[in-house]
Chain A
Amino acid sequence: DAGVIQSPRHEVTEMGQEVTLRCKPISGHDYLFWYRQTMMRGLELLIYFNNNVPIDDSGMPEDRFSAKMPNASFSTLKIQPSEPRDSAVYFCASHTDRGALIRYGYTFGSGTRLTVV
């Protein structure tokens, strides 16, 4: 398996533009998570899905952020409009079930480094 695949690896955009980050979880993983990492705040959970359904989006900073999972193999995180304070590394992670989470932890993608200028 190729692991969790995220694209793009790097994104530079101007303030006010729409940004879409993409994630392909590991096949068979029923849980998908979006995290944001900054020096100041560390890794923060934004939202997670179970079987393509959003379960907890309480970490989404504001209405400018939205996430979708149209099928088991694809998820997007969209920021519209983007702002400089959104600059961070965005990670996608997945796991199969609660037992697997305990035993094997998350599998993370390599992240998307977003810079909003």
Chain B
Amino acid sequence: SQKIEQNSEALNIQEGKTATLTCNYTNYSPAYLQWYRQDPGRGPVFLLLIRENEKEKRKERLKVTFDTTLKQSLFHITASQPADSATYLCAPADTSGSARQLTFGSGTQLTVLP
């Protein structure tokens, strides 16, 4: 069955450092992968998308890589700030058939310490 794994432990880093979150998937081949941010008491918010033919995508201080051979995506936040503290979810998705829904990883809780 399809499986998505994110950093199992919460991640604490010092302000100003780069945070790196991992998303591994097995038993399917996603055509693209999305990353979401979730704050306590709120629904997830879409951050960015990377397609299978893209190695890297950047948006401001965010960088995402997608390695279809390793079946892994890395999500980086450079120059991290306390306001970046949240849970980050990955959602690899295929475009086969009539698929319209996303399957989410369990998330990694990031805390940026001042």
A interface list, Cβ under 8 A from B:
4, 31, 33, 41-43, 45, 48, 50, 55-56, 91, 93, 98, 101-111
Please judge, given known A-B contacts A42-B105, A42-B106, A42-B107, whether A106 and B44 are in contact too, CB under 8 Å. Answer: yes
B28 at the interface (CB under 8 A from A): no
Query: Which of A42, A101, A110 meets B104, CB within 8 Å?
Result: A42
> Most chain-A CB neighbours within 10 Å: which of B42, B43, B46, B93?
B43
Per the bound structure, the CA–CA distance linking A56 and B99 in Å amounts to 10
Per the bound structure, the CA–CA distance linking A8 and B57 in Å amounts to 38
Per the bound structure, the CA–CA distance linking A56 and B44 in Å amounts to 22
Contact call A102/B43, Cβ cutoff below 8 A: no
The secondary structure that dominates the B interface is loop
How many of chain B's residues touch chain A, expressed as a range?
20 to 34
Per the bound structure, the CA–CA distance linking A109 and B68 in Å amounts to 31
> Most chain-B CB neighbours within 10 Å: which of A31, A102, A104, A107?
A102
Per the bound structure, the CA–CA distance linking A101 and B102 in Å amounts to 9
Q: Which residues of A contact B41 (CB under 8 A)?
A: 110-111
Per the bound structure, the CA–CA distance linking A98 and B98 in Å amounts to 9
Question: For residue B44, which residue of chain A has the nearest CB?
Answer: A108
Using A31-B100, A55-B100, A107-B46 as known contacts, list a sample of 4 further A-B pairs with CB atoms less than 8 Å apart, ordered by residue number in A: A4-B43, A48-B101, A108-B43, A111-B42
Can you give 22 A-B contacts (C-beta < 8 A)? A33-B101, A42-B105, A43-B44, A45-B101, A48-B101, A50-B100, A91-B43, A98-B100, A101-B100, A102-B32, A102-B93, A105-B46, A105-B102, A106-B44, A106-B46, A107-B46, A108-B43, A108-B44, A108-B45, A110-B42, A110-B43, A111-B41
Q: Which residues of B contact A106 (CB under 8 A)?
A: 44, 46, 102
Please judge, given known A-B contacts A42-B106, A42-B107, A103-B49, whether A93 and B100 are in contact too, CB under 8 Å. Answer: no
